[in-house]
Amino acid sequence: MATHHLLVLDIFFFLTGLSGIQSVSTVSHVTVKKGGSITIPCLYDQRYRNHVKYWCKGRKFLYCSTQMRTKPKSTSDWLSISDNVTTSIFTLTMNNLQPVVSDYFWCAVEKFGPDEKTYLSLSVTTGTPGLYVDQQHVTGVEGQSVTVNCSYINTGDMRWCRMGGSCVKKSETLDAGASVKLKRISTNGKKVMIVTMSGLDRENTGWYWCAVGDLQMPVHITVNQKTIAQSTTTITTTTYIRNQNNGGTDEKRQERIQSLLVVLLIPLSLLGVVIAGTLVTWKMLRKHKDKKAKGQPPNTSVQSADPEQEITYSTVSHIRGATQQGLNPERHVDLYSTVIPMQHRKAQRQQDPFPDDAVTYSTLVTKNKTQPNAAEPDDVVYSTVAPHQR
């Protein structure tokens, strides 16, 4: 009877377990190193957002012991629970894990009737875990890319899956439009599956896991909105692991580039100093020149702006019959002549040119002061002036 009773309970457990998997899901097998920590996400149906969630330990659900509940929420040094009703995921974080071959845990949701649930197997080892990542929580920027390195020692097919979504086994497009590229490398006996997600969108925020064979490792990716201050550098979750076949080529190339930059920096700095000194000297000389020009007195040789005012009057005294009649002040006559400055003569020539052989006649009429009404024949003087050769 006891055996028959246990068989009935096992059948009931199996049937309720199947129904629980449909409403609650998580990874199935994870490995952690001694003293390490891990966060397990549990996805549940949206209709259970306001229900109590809990974490239970035990091989069989009917006999498992509750470790942590969301209501009432208890405290523990090694375990914590958190429920995100927006994403319908509650998480369990376990710290300072101690070696154990295998422990079974359950993600469960209380409801009327049998609770919804699903289980996972957790292995804690003293050596290298079968599958692990350096960081479970990584951050990316909208429009850029993020890389996750999944190290493993076991064998099997590689996969990259989104919780509640689909899985990819090769380079292709995942849910929400992100492009996923999978690459496997091996260096120093260490095997790594490199997962690169490009063209990130805010909708790509969520829980993922990398899988190799029957092992899985959860990874949460947060995609932040791009800001001006952020650079376009690709964000990675771990230190880049070089391929052994490269032989340190990348590192040597970087060293050569750095040396070249240092060599170029010195002459460029000197050139900048020379240019700056030249500019300062030029400005000082120009300032001195301007100051000297301002201190000079105005040019007195500048001609009058009105060319009509540039007329010179001269008085010429003509002595008639000085040799025969003697000096007689009253017989002196006044001669008036107009002297035209050279620049005006040139301007007049340009406007009304004369031939080179032109002759200019001028008449000088002497005024007899003693006989104002009489004009003597000898009072008229004709003179011929030869033109100035141009």
- Mean pLDDT of the residues in the chain: 74
Rounded (to 5) percent helix, strand, coil in the chain: 25, 35, 35
C-alpha 16: how far from its chain's center? 56
pLDDT surpasses 80 at 108 = yes
Residue 102's pLDDT is what?
A: 84
Tell me the C-alpha distance between 94 and 301, whole Å.
101
Categorize the per-residue pLDDT at 384 as very low, low, confident or very high, splitting at 50, 70 and 90.
very low
Return the DSSP state at 36: -
CA of 202: how far to CAs of 141, 155, 167, 224, 339, in Å? 8, 33, 19, 7, 96
Q: How many CB atoms lie within 10 A of CB 322?
A: 11
Residue in 108, 122, 93, 121 with CA at minimum distance from that of residue 33: 122
CA of 105: how far to CAs of 21, 122, 364, in Å? 14, 8, 139
Tell me the C-alpha distance between 16 and 116, whole Å.
8
- The one-letter amino acid code at 254 reads Q
Q: How many CB atoms lie within 10 A of CB 260?
A: 10
Structural tokens at position 179: 């492009």
Higher pLDDT, 9 or 117: 117
pTM for this model (two decimals): 0.55
Categorize the per-residue pLDDT at 176 as very low, low, confident or very high, splitting at 50, 70 and 90.
low
Torsion sign across C-alpha atoms 225, 228, 234, 238: negative
Structural tokens at position 229: 């201050």
Query: What does the pLDDT look like over 307-342, one tens digit per residue?
Result: 444 444 445 444 444 444 444 444 444 444 555 555
Categorize the per-residue pLDDT at 59 as very low, low, confident or very high, splitting at 50, 70 and 90.
very high
